[in-house]
Amino acid sequence: MKHYEVEILDARTRDKLCFLDKVEPQATVADIKNLFSKAHPQWYPARQSLRLDPKGRSLKDEDVLQSLPVGTTATLYFRDLGAQISWVTVFLTEYAGPLLIYLLFYFRVPFLYGPRYDFTASRHRVVHLACCCHSFHYVKRLLETLFVHRFSHGTMPLRNIFKNCTYYWGFAAWMAYYINHPLYTPPAYGDDQVKLALAVFLFCQLGNFSIHVALRNLRPAGSKTRKIPYPTRNPFTWLFLLVSCPNYTYEVGSWIGFTIMTQCLPVALFSLVGFVQMAIWAQGKHRSYLREFRDYPPLRSPIIPFLL
Amino acid sequence: MAAAGGGSRADNGYGGQQARRRKGPGALATGYLVIYNVVMTAGWLVIAVGLVRAYLAKGSYHSLYYSIEKPLKFFQTGALLEILHCALGIVPSSVVLTAFQVMSRVFLTWAVTHSVKEVQTEDSVLLFVVAWTITEIIRYSFYTFSLLNHLPYLIKWARYTLFIVLYPMGVSGELLTIYAALPFVRQSGLYSISLPNKYNFSFDYYTFLILVMISYIPIFPQLYFHMLHQRRKVLSHTEEHKKSE
């Protein structure tokens, strides 16, 4: 069996960082990363980007050495992706925050509102309902992170956690402040408005969960395969006929429901910002589906049927 | 804070001195940009002349704002087009940075000076108007000459040197004006909405203005040192170029 030699150069300075000899042809890029980190322990595999061309795309961990367009002496270029943090950690942190922060405002913990309101309860039923919905939403997200989602990337750059947490925690505090405020004004159309909003919210929560489960089932445990998602027997997944990322569609729907329920402008703004971000992600995902699969269903739009 | 000559723009202008691989504006865009920059230079010259004439007529430098209020509003607001120029790619600058700088000027012009009439007689207004006027005349003529590939060294020097004084001067004028506006905003509840209301939203413009003032603390030094850094790069590069001639 012929062994490969792998030399790893810095993508920017072209310095020779590492030379590996006697690498098995069936070694994967992940194996090479492990070997590289032995020589440079500060660059653990998650923060390594190895590529064939200094300005090219990163090689995937699953790529096998002998299937790459290299001779028996392969030259790979290394870029440091910076400190990494696992997706699971980021998700848990960014979702636990809103859950707790909202409750602080709901229970009117001291220093948030005037002292005479400390630990009092709102006299509006919708405020209690809103707390249940908001808390349910984030508990659902936490549980999905732990038990449902299958992440294709293990990590993301460390600075993302600060950015993401500021966004989620900041908006949660801003919304919770008004909804649980002693001077909160309940919805103009009363119980009818709240009932409709609750129905929309629950429908979309179920929808979103159904999509997450469907996506999970597309991918066997531990694999990073990508397949076209299709509708299953669950009616909530039938939205796949019209949209590439129905999970985002349902998510926006949930927040619209919550906006109607609370009739609170900050919630509307949060929904809007979230929608813009998810639309951008959906466009990207849709485009990468189109690139990867020749037979991708042409009827589908990224996030809103027929429109966006 | 926006008083300096557009600190974070592509400071070497369109002169083509750098071997940039970017496409750059086409002939039509260049023509349009030349017209735009000439018009803006003229506009700010009108404001400068207006200030001088008013000063000579009144015999004092107080309350000169009224004599240039309209052209100031017109030409400063017109600068919003520069955001569009970046978005269209005919100007090689960051949309976000340009938007930020132009919006901060427009904010001061409309949301502070125009909206809080009581500050219009403040001397701090003259301070930032003078700083802006001199800066913009130089900046727009810099762009004009760069587009025509004929940039006199004096203009380049002025753009990268006068900011050293004009920038702090403008920032001082802006901060003092916002500070002067505070009691009137508090008293009149300008642009503020309080609870309870059916949108379950509140906004306190007074607090917002204080936060704006605080934001100058991290932002101003960064922009200032960026300009100083650009100055060293641009002016020393020209020195070497001249020496080698």
List per-residue pLDDT tens for chain B, 245 residues long.
Answer: 444 444 334 443 433 444 444 555 688 999 999 999 999 999 999 999 999 999 999 999 999 999 999 999 999 999 999 999 999 999 988 898 899 889 999 999 999 999 999 999 999 999 999 999 999 999 999 999 999 999 999 999 999 999 999 999 999 999 999 999 999 999 999 999 999 999 999 999 999 999 999 999 999 998 899 889 989 998 887 665 555 44
Please answer yes or no on whether B200 and A188 come within 8 Å at the CB atom: no
Residues A96-103 have a mean pLDDT of 97
In this complex, how many residue pairs, one in chain A and one in chain B, have their CB atoms less than 8 Å apart?
Answer: 29
Question: What's the count of helices (H) and strands (E) in chain B, helices before strands?
Answer: 8, 0
User: How many Cβ atoms are within 10 Å of A20's Cβ, its own excluded?
Assistant: 20
Residue A55 sits at the chain B interface (C-beta within 8 Å) = no
- Give the burial string for A265-283 (b: 16+ CB within 10 Å, else e): bbbbebbeebbeebbeebb
Which positions in chain B touch A184 (Cβ < 8 Å)?
195-196, 200
State residue A140's pLDDT score: 97
Whether A36 shows a pLDDT value over 70: the answer reads: yes
Bridge partners, A28 (sequence order): A64
Q: By CA distance, what is A268's nearest residue in B? A: B199
Does A41 have pLDDT greater than 70? yes
Give the CA diameter of chain A.
Answer: 80
Q: Is A171 part of the contact surface with chain B (CB cutoff 8 Å)? A: no
pLDDT for A283: 95
Distance CA B100, CA B114 (A): 20
Q: Which of A19-23, A248-252, B197-201 has the lowest mean pLDDT?
A: A19-23
Distance of alpha carbon A191 from alpha carbon A141, whole angstroms: 28
The pLDDT, as a whole number, for residue A111 is 93
Give B188→chain A minimum CA distance, Å.
Answer: 22
Return the pLDDT at A22. 84
* A174 touching B (Cβ < 8 Å): no
B197: contact with A, CB 8 A cutoff: yes
More confident residue, A55 or B188: B188
Comparing CA positions, the residue from A137, A179, A291 lying closest to residue A228 is A291
Q: Cβ distance A117 to A192 under 8 Å?
A: no
For residue A185, what is the nearest residue in chain B, using CA coordinates? Answer: B198
Contact assignment for A185 to B200 by CB distance below 8 Å: yes
Quote the pTM value: 0.80
| A157–chain B Cβ distance below 8 A for any pair | no
Distance (Å) from the C-alpha of residue A188 to the closest C-alpha of chain B?
7
Pairing of strands A84-86, A155-157: antiparallel
pLDDT score for A135 = 97
Whether A265 has its CB under 8 Å from any CB of chain B: the answer is: yes
Closest residue in B to A269 (Cα–Cα): B201
The DSSP code for B109 is I
How confident is the model at residue B7, as a pLDDT? 39
Residue A18, pLDDT score: 87
Rg (C-alpha) for chain A, rounded Å, is 24
Distance CA A51, CA A75 (A): 9
Chain A nearest C-alpha distance from B193 (Å): 12
Q: Annotated catalytic sites of B, by residue?
A: 167, 174
Share of chain A above pLDDT 70, in %: 99
Q: Hey, how many other C-beta atoms are within 10 angstroms of the C-beta on B110?
A: 13
Cα-only R_g, chain B: 19
Write down the pLDDT at residue A277: 96
Most confident of A5-9, A14-18, B53-57: B53-57
